[in-house]
Amino acid sequence: MQNFVMINNADVSRKVMYNHIKIRGEIMKVIGINGSPRPNGNTELLLKTVFAELNNEGIETELIQLGGNAVRGCLACGRCFEMKNGRCVIETDMMNKVITKMFEADGILIGSPTYFANVSTEIKALIDRAGYVAIANGRALRRKVGAAVVAVRRAGSTDAFDAINKLFFIQEMIVPGSVYWNLAVGREPGAAAADEEGMNTMRVLGQNMAWLMKKLHA
């Protein structure tokens, strides 16, 4: 898949972004966005478990640490629809770098811990800002493969899972399933590894994601 290249002509740019399923040699790439402020915590463990299955199928992976960084929420200014340059007008944080990575990737994993029955603050900012920028730029995430993974102590995981999947569906992305909803239970860092069902769900998700991506790129 070629890197995303911004073109000044809005019509040509929109056409390029619609035709985002391109070949990068023969290697496809999935990014995993960690919305937990705990590096090496349970959310990262789940993302890396999915990564292992993707790597086994020859798919390149990259982990992006978003959680714990100071990011702004959406300002509802509408400038992304005016500029159509593939960027959010807010330039004081790392969000535009993440958005660019999303546009360049063939597949996107978004991982979040469950805080008060929903996603972390950083993931909510990602959903709002990346979501608007993608729609404003010819639906740049259309037909990419996307999946959510959620770490949880007890309740609220399906709300977080639902919030991330709503981003994928409104972007016309393609979402693979697994043998259960993509969540695993654990409080202390690494505790989710003891959730046998949760870890198996992540492994099967990685296998299904790889299968789907290969079918789309055949």
DSSP for 91-152, please give it.
-SSSHHHHHHHHHH-SEEEEEEE-BTTB--HHHHHHHHHHHHHHHHTT-TTTT-EEEEEEEE
The CATH code for residues 10-216 is 3.40.50.360
Instruction: Express each pLDDT in 83-98 by its tens digit.
Output: 999 999 999 999 999 9
In the chain, pLDDT over 90 holds for what percent of residues? 87
Residue 75 has pLDDT above 50, yes or no: yes
Q: How many residues does the chain have?
A: 218
Q: What is the enclosing helix (H) or strand (E) of 31?
A: strand 29-34
Q: Which band of pLDDT confidence, cut at 50, 70 and 90, is reported for residue 9?
A: very low
For the ranges 26-30, 66-70, 101-105, which has the lowest average pLDDT? 26-30
Buried b (16+ CB within 10 A) or exposed e, 117-136: ebbbebbbbbbbbbbbbbbb
In this prediction, residue 1 carries a pLDDT of 38
Q: What is the pLDDT of residues 149-198, one digit of tens each?
A: 999 999 999 999 999 999 999 999 999 999 999 999 999 999 999 999 99
- Three-class secondary structure of residue 34 per DSSP: strand
Rounded to 5°, angle at Cα 180 from 199 and 125:
80
Here the tokens at position 90 are 């807010």
